[in-house]
Structure 1
Amino acid sequence: MSRYACIPASVALLCASVPALAASHVFLIQNSGWMEPFYTDPASPFKPLVAEIIMAATGPGDPMVLAAFNQSLPGAPSPRALLSLKVDPVPTRREVVKALAALEVAHKPGGTALADTDLNEAVGSAIGTALGGKPGLVWLVTNNRNSPNNDQATALRNRDFYQLIHRGDAISKALAFPLQMPVRGAQYRANGLMVYVFAVGAQGARELDALLLSGRLQRVITEPAARLKPLDRDTLRLVPRKVSDAPGVAFSMAPGGVLHADVDAGTRAPAAKIEWNLENTIYPYTIASATLAARSVLGGENRAIELASTQVSKLAPGKSAPLASTMQLPVTQLPGTWSLKAVTSAGSAYVLPGRIELQLSEQRLELSQDFRQRMATLFPGDPLPDIFTPPAQIKGSSAALPIEVRVHYGVGPLLAAIGAALALLGAAAWAMLAMARPRKAYVTVEDELRTMQARAGTVQPIYDKAGNKVAQLKTTLFGHQLIDLREGAQVRLGR
């Protein structure tokens, strides 16, 4: 076992001392009675698949716990930790494969009866003990059956599991992957397997989104993820299809799903009629019916978007419906051609960020028929798990499309500003030279012509032949003048 291991396999509860870092993982592997064919079929790909999921989901340095679970009984507690370590890909793979190889179907204490299952107990222990209530991801590998002996408490435990996932505050996002895996054991046979992943806390949801974006998990699990939670946001995607009646405005989608609205600087009333594709992104649910409303939030302005239709119905997952709209862009928030923002944005674009918000009210969701058929094929004879029933309190949802309004300004204002700045600099330089250069001034005092040297900004006294001060010579950039002229003095400028 790894030097990071903190508990032996015989300890029942999950390790509470695992560092609760971002992207902490807890892997819960069911080994109760109904799982018998997955363990005993010689051709079963079950354990290799679990190992690959673990390696795809984790990264170097991630703390993880691997545990088996069934139903806790006196003398046979559950979950039971198999490994607790920080991931180092090569040795971790060896330890995971070794731990899974030793895992067998569990029996009830003191007999040969196969163990029952409590999904709620397993996930609750993972959240409360292994993660200590801190962010992380809980993975659950199960055949979706709670009890091989039709325990009468099964329905109650199923309801508890439903409440934990849909109404509990701890789990922020939940996905399910129904997988085909036909296996035959000595007692049972099965066609499929379910892999759940539950994101704990907002940080856990971000880590799950990052994992899905990386594509690592999809290289192992090629089936689309069925969303269990949240069902009240990001249920639709807006994709612009056509723009008309928008002189001076052009729309385009940028990488990352940001809508660009490029506006010419001279456009005074930018508005556009936009035809969208409204796509259902909430697999496996069909939006049976909903009422639509939309608005734009740009530059501090909140404007309603006029929709050609406010109703959506029978929109299957992955399918799209046309939606026409008229949107007004925030004219008053766009800088004028001669504004400082326009001048500094010359040759590029002034960007005004915002978003388009779509609200669905009176929303009614239904499981798609394709998904129901797939579940019936993978789990024949089993009722559809309640966990796939949308909570009754979810009557609406929202979606947002980031938008950037980009105003393109020519270089004319910038060139004009540069020219004006150069003119001012030239004038200032001329003024400085003029101030520093001595200038001749001709002054006649009592019929005597005198030549004086004066710099701009100076004042010099003028004396008569007897040595009396009779005036002062003031020199500016624009010439000379006599000031403080003594009464009766014979002093004048010039010859």
Structure 2
Amino acid sequence: MRALVRHVLALLALLLLAASAGATPHVFLVQNSGWMEPFYSDPKSQFKPLVGALAGAVVQPGDALVLASFNQSLPGAPSPKALLSLKADGKTVRGRVNEALANLDTARKPGSAALADTDLGEAVQAAISTALGGKAGIVWLLTNNRNSPNNDQATAARNREFYELIHRGAAIDKVVAFPLRMPVQGRHYQANGLMVYAFAVGKEGSRALDSLLASRRIASVITEQPARLKPLDRDTVRLVPAQVEDAPGVAFSQAPGGGLRADVDPDARTPHARIRWNLENTMYPYTIVSATLGARSLLAGEDRKIELASTRVNGLAPGKPQPLGSTMQLPVAQLPDKWSMAALKSAGSAYVLPGRIELHLANQQLALSQAFRQRMAELFPGDPLPDIFTPPPSIQASNAVLPIEVRVHYGMGPLAALGGIVASLLAAGAAAAWAYGRPRVAQVTVEDELRTMRARPGTTQPIYDKAGTQVAVLRTTLFGHQLTDLREGAQVRLGR
């Protein structure tokens, strides 16, 4: 039975994935083991409405959605168990999810009145390998954080196994968690909080999760700041420009999407700039206790070290930036001259040189913030989970890559001047063409007879005497007329 349900779940998901090429598959895992009893029995519980609202906010039209309940798989009681699979249309997702959850209740062990146990790792692994079928996507896990397979009371060890899956699982690229306050009182248990995890599977899943976080679609339902669990070795800090000194015509700013932008005047030729930044920690809820900081820029094919006023980072907490001075080389030698073809093509807009700034933190030491520990203790009393948030000892360095684009703003002056020159040349050419095509009048005297002849430049005309014999040839140019091929003894001349 277990294999059958999982096979059906995989089949449904893969069919949806095939029909949703280019979209993001979402798997929602909803815990219904015994420890979740108050979330189902308390009439004031907002657990099920939360699931529907979150799915309705994050699942986009065309995305594949698989909804499944989970506890711990036993013979005759498979877990996870599919509740719903669909291709989202953007309008009915929330209602369909609410409808699928309406009759869901806490599960019991097969053939027993005992409530089912919980295995978080089993559920996540099944979602990755079976529901997603090894493809990229996002797995959402809604749980009370009680990980107790076979009612194992050694929850610290079980949680450690769960976080080993997070940090060691090669398929999982990014994980964020949202600890939520949700006090509920059931017939058997009471709880203060709920945890929502988002597991980004694969690079595409990570980009999709980043996009959801940036769009604030998640924040429309969950206002709690996401706590990052993975990765802790990349994108850990960012630079926010504060001031540019000793570099006339150069200005730094934040670009849409979180990158940096350097706006440069076309006449700016300062080879370097002193820039004051604010260094920010992007790894909530961790504080960078200490680290050695290095930086370099890669612009216009040049790899240059950024000289920092300080290479030490100490006590950098999220939301509390530290000032950082630097001297940065500018690619002025690679900027097109304002009379170049590249500049003329960019007249009135901007010529863009893409690049990046790379930051490296060595000897990195992280610490979980005390405020986060206290919040977790309030939401999940007696749960040793916050200790498991401690970063793996293997993570002692991190890298951050900040995209930067150098934008050179060329005015319309050179293009207008060039346009004037081209217009003048065209006018001169038109005048020359008119002059070239205009017939010229020539006065020719043949045997005392004055004749008037008309010819265009570049043409020749034979001249005959009164007897009809050719005695000369009239050649006409832009500069006048001339007689050629004169017959000996002929009485022919230009003019009277």
Q: Given the two structures, how large is their TM-score scaled by the length of structure 1?
A: 0.87
Equivalent pair of 1:235/1:282 in contact (CA under 8 Å):
yes
Q: Which amino acid aligns with 2:265?
A: D
**Matched pairs, number:** 488
Q: Which amino acid aligns with 1:105?
A: T
Q: Which amino acid aligns with 1:437?
A: R
Cα distance in structure 2, aligned partners of 1:451 and 1:96:
100
Q: CA deviation at 1:298?
A: 2.8
Aligned residue number for residue 278 of structure 1:
279
Cα distance in structure 1, aligned partners of 2:373 and 2:74:
34
Summarize the Cα distance change of 1:242–1:90 in structure 2 as closer, same or farther, 3 Å threshold: closer
Decide which moves more: 257-266 or 415-424. Answer: 257-266
Q: CA deviation at 1:376?
A: 1.9
Q: Secondary structure at the match of 1:219?
A: coil
Summarize the Cα distance change of 1:84–1:346 in structure 2 as closer, same or farther, 3 Å threshold: closer
Which structure 2 residues correspond to residues 56-205 of structure 1 after superposition, within 5 A? 56-87=57-88, 93-147=94-148, 151=152, 157-205=158-206
Cα distance in structure 1, aligned partners of 2:48 and 2:348:
60
Cα distance in structure 1, aligned partners of 2:355 and 2:486:
70
Q: CA deviation at 1:241?
A: 0.8
Matched, 1:401 2:402: yes
Cα distance in structure 1, aligned partners of 2:334 and 2:62:
48
Cα distance in structure 2, aligned partners of 1:89 and 1:470:
95
Aligned residue number for residue 460 of structure 2:
459
Equivalent pair of 2:464/2:471 in contact (CA under 8 Å):
yes
Q: Which amino acid aligns with 1:376?
A: A
Q: CA deviation at 1:11?
A: 4.4
Aligned residue number for residue 219 of structure 2:
218
Equivalent pair of 1:234/1:400 in contact (CA under 8 Å):
yes
Per-residue Cα deviation, 1:222-248 (whole angstroms, up to 9, x for no partner): 111111222232222211111111112
Q: CA deviation at 1:200?
A: 1.9
Q: CA deviation at 1:375?
A: 1.5
Equivalent pair of 1:13/1:81 in contact (CA under 8 Å):
no
Cα distance in structure 1, aligned partners of 2:95 and 2:427:
77
Equivalent pair of 1:127/1:200 in contact (CA under 8 Å):
yes
Aligned residue number for residue 317 of structure 1:
318
Summarize the Cα distance change of 1:160–1:488 in structure 2 as closer, same or farther, 3 Å threshold: farther
Aligned residue number for residue 359 of structure 1:
360
Equivalent pair of 1:263/1:270 in contact (CA under 8 Å):
no
Matched, 1:413 2:453: no
Q: Secondary structure at the match of 2:306?
A: strand
Cα distance in structure 2, aligned partners of 1:39 and 1:395:
42
Q: Which amino acid aligns with 1:199?
A: A
1:15 is aligned, of 9, 20, 33, to 9
Q: CA deviation at 1:451?
A: 4.5
Summarize the Cα distance change of 1:416–1:60 in structure 2 as closer, same or farther, 3 Å threshold: closer
Structure 2's unaligned 5+ residue stretches are none
Q: CA deviation at 1:134?
A: 2.1
Q: CA deviation at 1:186?
A: 3.9
Q: CA deviation at 1:197?
A: 1.1
Equivalent pair of 2:155/2:384 in contact (CA under 8 Å):
no
Structure 1's unaligned 5+ residue stretches are 1-6
Per-residue Cα deviation, 1:198-257 (whole angstroms, up to 9, x for no partner): 122233223323322332321221111111222232222211111111112233334443
Q: Which amino acid aligns with 2:144?
A: N
Summarize the Cα distance change of 1:214–1:251 in structure 2 as closer, same or farther, 3 Å threshold: closer
Q: CA deviation at 1:419?
A: 1.8
Q: CA deviation at 1:308?
A: 1.4
Q: Secondary structure at the match of 1:218?
A: coil
Summarize the Cα distance change of 1:418–1:61 in structure 2 as closer, same or farther, 3 Å threshold: closer
Equivalent pair of 2:71/2:80 in contact (CA under 8 Å):
yes
Q: CA deviation at 1:157?
A: 4.9
Decide which moves more: 180-189 or 325-334. Answer: 180-189
Summarize the Cα distance change of 1:171–1:426 in structure 2 as closer, same or farther, 3 Å threshold: same
Aligned residue number for residue 297 of structure 2:
296
Decide which moves more: 384-393 or 125-134. Answer: 384-393
Aligned residue number for residue 25 of structure 2:
24
Equivalent pair of 1:291/1:312 in contact (CA under 8 Å):
yes
Summarize the Cα distance change of 1:360–1:43 in structure 2 as closer, same or farther, 3 Å threshold: same
Q: Secondary structure at the match of 2:347?
A: coil
Equivalent pair of 2:366/2:391 in contact (CA under 8 Å):
yes
Cα distance in structure 2, aligned partners of 1:89 and 1:351:
37
Summarize the Cα distance change of 1:346–1:438 in structure 2 as closer, same or farther, 3 Å threshold: same
Equivalent pair of 1:14/1:125 in contact (CA under 8 Å):
no
**RMSD of aligned residue pairs (Cα, Å):** 3.2
Cα distance in structure 2, aligned partners of 1:179 and 1:209:
20
Equivalent pair of 2:156/2:385 in contact (CA under 8 Å):
no
Cα distance in structure 2, aligned partners of 1:220 and 1:320:
28
Q: CA deviation at 1:87?
A: 4.1
Q: Percent same amino acid among aligned pairs?
A: 69
Q: Given the two structures, how large is their TM-score scaled by the length of structure 2?
A: 0.87
Decide which moves more: 269-278 or 121-130. Answer: 269-278
Decide which moves more: 81-90 or 203-212. Answer: 81-90
Q: Secondary structure at the match of 1:76?
A: coil
Q: Which amino acid aligns with 2:252?
A: F
Cα distance in structure 1, aligned partners of 2:471 and 2:388:
108
Decide which moves more: 120-129 or 390-399. Answer: 390-399
Q: Which amino acid aligns with 1:190?
A: A
Q: CA deviation at 1:462?
A: 5.0
Cα distance in structure 2, aligned partners of 1:119 and 1:175:
15
Q: CA deviation at 1:183?
A: 2.8
Cα distance in structure 2, aligned partners of 1:387 and 1:81:
30
Cα distance in structure 2, aligned partners of 1:310 and 1:469:
98
Per-residue Cα deviation, 1:427-464 (whole angstroms, up to 9, x for no partner): 11112112211113345678876544321112334567
Cα distance in structure 2, aligned partners of 1:459 and 1:374:
103
Aligned residue number for residue 4 of structure 1:
none
Aligned residue number for residue 240 of structure 1:
241
Q: Which amino acid aligns with 2:326?
A: S
Q: CA deviation at 1:149?
A: 6.5
Aligned residue number for residue 388 of structure 1:
389
